[in-house]
Amino acid sequence: MMTVEEAIATIVEAYGDINLVARSLIVNAAEVASATAEPDTAEAVALALLQKYNPYTAPKATTKE
């Protein structure tokens, strides 16, 4: 599993279809959800793609009865 920073760098440095690259990367969805990038940068575009292909759903809270 890659870190979010490694995945962003891989997408930014990629030639060709960055959607295909982003779809193929294995990252922690929770880390992707909490990551930030400067707006209007290549890193922000890469992060948006990672968020698209690695959606995070928070675990539901369980209550004991």
Range of the domain at 32: 4-53
Domain-located, residue 34: yes
Spacing of C-alpha 30 from chain mean position: 9
Task: Kindly state the DSSP code that residue 59 receives in the 8-state scheme.
Answer: P
Mean pLDDT of the chain: 94
* Integer Cα distance of 52 and 3 in angstroms: 16
Domain-located, residue 31: yes
Domain-located, residue 15: yes
Q: Tokens 């990038």 map to which residue?
A: 37
State residue 65's pLDDT score: 65
Domain-located, residue 63: no
The first and second tokens of residue 53, run together, are: 């292909």
Spacing of C-alpha 13 from chain mean position: 15
Per the CB < 8 A criterion, the answer to whether 22 and 46 are in contact is yes
Q: How many domains does the chain have?
A: 1
Domain-located, residue 22: yes
Q: What is the pLDDT of residues 30-61, one digit of tens each?
A: 999 999 999 999 999 999 999 999 999 888 87
pTM here is 0.87
